[in-house]
Amino acid sequence: MRLRNLVFGLLSLSVLAPILLYIDSFSSFTPSFKQEFLEDVTALILPADTSNLNVLPQDESSAVLKEPIGILYTDNHSKTILTDKGRALSATDEDAQSRKDDIIKQVIQSANQEKEETRTDRGADQESHQLKQQSALNSDKVGEKDALLTKTNKQTDQSPMPAAWERQLRDRLIKASVYLSLPATKNNRRFTRELRMRIKEVQRVLGDAIKDSDMPKNAYEKWKAMDQLLEKGKQMQYESANEVKKLRAMLHSTEEQLRVHKKQTMSFATMVEKLRAMLHSTEEQLQVHKKQTMFLTQLTAKTLPKGLHCLPLRLTTEYYNLNSSEQQFPNQEILDNPLLHHIALFSDNVLAAAVVVNSTVTNSKHPSKLVFHLVSDRLSYAAMRMWFLVNPPGKATIQVQNIDEFTWLNSSYSPVLKQLHSQSMIDYYFRAHSANSDSNLKYRNPKYLSILNHLRFYLPEIFPKLNKVLFLDDDIVVQKDLTGLWSLDLKGKVNGAVETCRESFHRFDTYLNFSNPLISNNFDPRACGWAYGMNLFDLEEWKRQNITDVYHSWQKLNHDRQLWKLGTLPPGLITLWKRTHPLDRRWHVLGLGYNPNVSQIEIERGAVIHYNGNMKPWLEIGIPKYRKYWAKYVDYVNVYLRECNINP
């Protein structure tokens, strides 16, 4: 029995002694040391790869150690250790405590040493971990790959997702949506299509994942592909920004050029305005000079040269020195023969009438059939007779009459004669301010004041026994034989004339006032005009259609000159409206008295050339290149021309 107790006591001592020794070592720890130890343990962070940790149980949601077993201190000689099962161990043996003081000190020193090493390792691990996380975040901002992720992928392609990848993938989706809305990428269809595809792939990867561990193993590949595509989009934005900079530079350069051009344009516009002002001033001066020139031309046309004034005086003196028998023309008995070719010429210009008669006779194939009926006024009558008595027209017959002998032509019969003798008409032609009173000065020539100019409307009364009469102006030259005119069929018309509608200003609206309803209701403003100067009149039709009365009625309506300005062509157009037969243009060539551009070929082939206008060939203002056609029929060796100093 005693032996049994001894054995049991030794066994108890061998079992309890190590336990008591271990408990005493923990009880010797100071409270401050215990707290530091717990803080060090709780601050410890395990590495990402925990597959090799097989001692302590691991939790996926936590990377730190659990808190160690708590120790309760009761007094200086006893202590209680709380286990995870709530059991308590105590020891009160003061002797054992004293025996183990040395051992406890060694344990404390060893623990302090281990604590310092643990703190050093933990600080290094924390610093390395923070640097890796910062590197991953920086890589996300600039589009670079995470260094730690690259290292992990080299180890295995099936590594689990790093921390916060789910958030990063969602950030990539937001960035991809932003790129889709940018103009630089929106216009690139291929990039947009690929980006949409990557977005769908990432969305499928994310799915319903709440944490990184929920995502599939190919999430990294999708993340990598999305990152590469976003980097491409970033490069496109950069290139687009460079293009915008270039365009802005070009725009700035263009704006600078526009400013320069604008300044130049403004300067040019100022110069143009100055030139316009100068041009306007020049045009005004030109208009003034033009009016003055027209007035002087009209004045020159009204005034006979000294030689032409001398000639009729010299001839008149010689005429009245003749006896009555010497003043008579031969062949007066055939003046009314209707079978001959009768020509009417009304003029007070001896030299002009002489050229008409001489040129007609010279170019006629049958001059003996020609009968000239000259009518002049009282002042020129004697001179005209004397000239043709001294210079007979060869085989042709000539008659010279005085208009004063037409007793039937008076103001009671002729409205125009009454108007011509009125004071208002005289003022119209001779008032001092005539240069500025009328823009159309060609109708203000005093020749229109002479009844000789209107005598063409009384041909049946002057030649009651004749059937046809060829009317010629005194400013024409005959270049061809006119015999064929008398055989022309006028087809029931009164007047045979050459039309002048080739030139627009020779139409009806040029001569007549179409603002007056009397004109506008009866005539066509674009109707073709015709020319006086060489006209074949059928006197039988004239009488049958009562043309003289038509002329009188229109003259009475124009007593205040509201229908047309004075002259003979406007009333002729009205009176002979739809009664004129057009002749071939070669019979009558116009314009040699005002148009310097008449074709020489046209002149040479014309039967009659007409110096209509103010530039008559016998005046100094006549067009020089046309003067030769007229001068060739003037006998400058004639004694009367030499005495009056009339030279070529």
What's the one-letter identity of residue 117? E
- Runs of H (alpha helix) within 182-218: 183-186, 189-206
| Dist CA 614 CA 302 (whole Å) | 9
How long is the chain?
648
Domain covering 306-644 assigned CATH 3.40.50.620 in the classification: no
Q: What is the pLDDT of residue 430?
A: 61
Q: Measuring CA to CA, how many Å separate 163 from each of 136, 202, 214, 215?
A: 10, 17, 12, 12
Q: What is the pLDDT of residue 297?
A: 63
Q: Measuring CA to CA, how many Å separate 276 from each of 95, 262, 280, 320?
A: 133, 20, 6, 65
Q: What is the pLDDT of residue 227?
A: 77
Q: What is the pLDDT of residue 504?
A: 54
> What is the reported pTM?
0.58
- Beta-carbon contacts of 476 under 8 Å, excluding residues fewer than 6 positions away, are 356, 533, 534, 608, 609, 610, 611
Q: What is the pLDDT of residue 302?
A: 60
3 state DSSP class of 146: coil
| Dist CA 542 CA 495 (whole Å) | 9
Q: Which two tokens stand for residue 71?
A: 């120790």
Q: What is the pLDDT of residue 301?
A: 59
Q: What is the pLDDT of residue 634?
A: 96
**Segment holding 129, helix H or strand E:** helix 101-142
Q: Which residue positions in the chain have pLDDT lower than 70? A: 1-2, 15-166, 184-186, 207-215, 217, 291-303, 426, 428-448, 503-505
Q: In the chain, where are the structural domains located?
A: 163-275, 306-644
Backbone dihedral angles phi then psi of residue 559, each to the nearest 5 degrees:
-65, -30
Place of tokens 């031969």: 330
Q: What is the pLDDT of residue 154?
A: 41
* Helices 2-27 and 101-142, packing angle to 10 deg: 40
Q: What is the pLDDT of residue 18?
A: 64
Q: Are 467 and 538 in contact (CB under 8 A)?
A: yes
DSSP-derived secondary structure letter, 530? B
* Helices 306-319 and 381-390, packing angle to 10 deg: 80
